Amino acid sequence: MIDSHCHLDHVERPLPDVIADADAAGVKRVLSIGMDGSSCRATLQIAENFPQVYVAVGRHPNAATDFDDADASELAALAAHERCVAIGETGLDYYRDTSPRADQHRAFRSQIELAHETSRPLVIHTRAADDDTIATLSEHAQRLTVILHCFSMASRVDECLEQPGWLFSFAGNVTYPKAPELREAARRIPPDRLLVETDSPYLAPQPVRGKPNEPRFVVDTARLVAQERGESYEELERRIEENAARVFGW
């Protein structure tokens, strides 16, 4: 199994223990996500120390205030690192709205351009901004591989499925009792467009809900998704590992 989205620089337990426990659970590769310059640098350092870890470099929409050409140049330099396999997470967040929307859009567009320039997949965060996120991606991210991290747009799944390069990554919230719409979406995703993630240390799946999340717990989310899809865990695991290898090139 793989974890397609986590934040190892935010995990509190010692990283050697976190990685060892993930390996013992069968989680052999993880994608750790940078959210600003310092976070990206810290995450790349982690990847240099642990061969199981790969990195996405980006500027989270909640950290997009005053995003400018210097920030874009910094991300381009970070993306040149050999352990970087994706751009993001980027997108729009109108729920927290901690960064001006104009700055969010500027950072989003810049990272779409970087994904085009580097031929890397683009990792998307969207919250309370479905219309603008879908419109921006539809207009500017054609021919890119797009990963809808922590997929939450269950009411828009048909529109998203119309975009052949978009993948759907499900996090621990798909396991929550009050999320039947996410489980229905997970049942509908073609097998070659499906990923699972932890978003650790956030969004722990139901069996460990309330505890800090870690990459090892992606197995709990994957088991629920397999059950909902009427598949064996082993078949889902094989398919997700194939999808991740194709998308991230690891």
Q: What is the pLDDT of residues 42-52, one digit of tens each?
A: 999 999 999 99
Q: Which domain holds residue 67?
A: 2-248
pLDDT digit string, tens, across residues 126-181: 999 999 999 999 999 999 999 999 999 999 999 999 999 999 999 999 999 999 99
* Cα–Cα dist 246/240, whole Å: 10
Q: What does the pLDDT average to over 17-25?
A: 98
Contact 67, 106 (CB under 8 A): yes
CA 85 from chain centre, in angstroms, equals: 12
**Alpha-carbon separation of residue 161 from 43, 54, 79, 190 (angstroms):** 31, 27, 28, 9
pTM of the complete model: 0.97
What is the reported pLDDT for 132? 98
pLDDT digit string, tens, across residues 59-78: 999 999 999 999 999 999 99
Percent of the chain at pLDDT exceeding 90: 99
* Cα–Cα dist 13/100, whole Å: 34
What is the reported pLDDT for 97? 82
* Cα–Cα dist 206/184, whole Å: 17
What is the reported pLDDT for 182? 98
What is the reported pLDDT for 190? 98
Torsion-angle region of 238 (φ positive above 0: left; ψ -120 to 50: alpha; else: beta): alpha
Q: Of 141, 131, 140, 127, whose CA–CA distance to 171 is shortest?
A: 127
CB-hemisphere CA count at 13 Å for 81? 25
CA angle, 210 as apex, 209 and 212 as ends, to 5°?
95
Cis peptide bond N-terminal to 241, omega within 30: no
Looking at every residue in the chain, the average pLDDT score rounds to 98
* Cα–Cα dist 85/122, whole Å: 10
Number of domains the chain contains: 1
What is the reported pLDDT for 12? 94
- CATH number, domain at 89? 3.20.20.140
